Amino acid sequence: MFLQLLVNGLVTGSVYAIAAVGVSLVYGILRLVNFAYGDMMALGAFIAYFANVTLGLPMVLAALVAMLAMAAISIALDVVLWRPLRVRRAGFMSLFLASIGVALVLRQAILLVWGPQNRSYDVDPFKVYVIGSVRLSLAQVVTIVTASAAIVAIGVFLARSPSGRVMRAMADDRVLAQISGIDVNRVILVTWVISGLTAGLAGVLAALVQSSFDPNFGFQLLLPVFAAVVLGGIGSAYGALAGGLVLGVATELSTWEGFAGGVDPVYKPVVAFSVLIVALLLRPQGLFGRARVV
């Protein structure tokens, strides 16, 4: 049972991890807490639904369509909203409020087009893989494989590619990076592309794992994702990855009977937040964050 929960946790955690990287990079580079990210994930999931169920495309293709669509939408939003706000030197509160406005618009758009009912992808829900004492649904296997590949790809991109290194530098210490003469606009473009891709992918994978989803599931997902970003330490993309995995695993494992009867599964979100709060008490800057200096 423990192993099963651990694997479930890795599945959930990897979805959190991918989403958390997108949120973290946008915050680190654009100083924007993107409350619309949850609804971007949901929109990605619904676009994939359109591709998969309505158009009959295979799931892989549908996911790609969703990812590209969300990347395009992210760029469009930057052109239409975020860049004008940057020009007007909007402060943190303005950006935050604007992202709430965008979230509202996106959510209502999904509701207008698809309605409030639950949806599911055209995948076989009964197919099960058994490895030892662990049972995995097709969705879970796909998620783990895809998420791992994505995490590795993101990790490599951030570590090796020139853009990636620049992004990490900017997220860590923006002023210093700008003084070093990097092309800020290009970095911002890349940031939004990655954010869109991760939102699309995370949304689709989460919807797959949940097997049925409704337009509100994005925001519900967003809170543990924010928690993962904070847990990992704001400004650290690697931290976001780690934070996502830790939260996912901790949430699932908390229901194990071995921990004094285990937590009622209904309380899993509470566990995620509790883990975050306890971690911040012990290490206020997050796992990979930097301590405050006066």
Q: Please report, as ranges, the residues that interact with other proteins according to CB under 8 A.
A: 33, 81, 84-85, 88-91, 93-98, 100-105, 107-109, 111-112, 115-116, 219, 223, 226-227, 229-230, 234, 264, 266-267, 269-270, 273, 276-277, 280-281, 284-286, 291-294
Q: How far is the CB of 112 from other proteins (least distance, A)?
A: 5
Rg (CA), the chain: 19
The least distance separating other proteins from the CB of residue 166, rounded to whole angstroms, comes to 23
Specify the residue, 157 or 273, whose C-beta has the smaller distance to other proteins: 273
**CB-wise, 61 or 270, nearer to other proteins?**
270
Residue closer to other proteins (CB basis): 30 or 65: 30
Residues 6+ apart with CB under 8 A from 44: 66, 67, 69, 70, 199, 200, 201, 202, 203, 204
Closest distance of CB 159 from other proteins, Å:
20
Q: For 115-172, where are the alpha helices, taking DSSP H only? A: 138-160, 162-172
The residue with tokens 């509100």 is: 216
Q: Extract the tokens encoding 11.
A: 């599945």
Q: What is the smallest separation between the CB atom of 252 and other proteins, expressed in angstroms?
A: 17
CB of 291 to other proteins, least distance (A): 7
Position of tokens 């295979």? Answer: 58
DSSP letter at 126 equals S
**For residues 106 and 77, is the Cβ–Cβ distance under 8 A?**
no
Nearer to other proteins, 117 or 179 (CB): 117
Q: Which is nearer to other proteins, 139 or 224 (CB)?
A: 224
By C-beta, is 83 or 160 nearer to other proteins?
A: 83
Nearest to 285, CA basis, from 243, 247, 241, 250: 243
Question: What's the rounded Cα separation, in Å, for the pair 102 and 99?
Answer: 5
Minimal distance, residue 105 CB to other proteins, in Å = 4
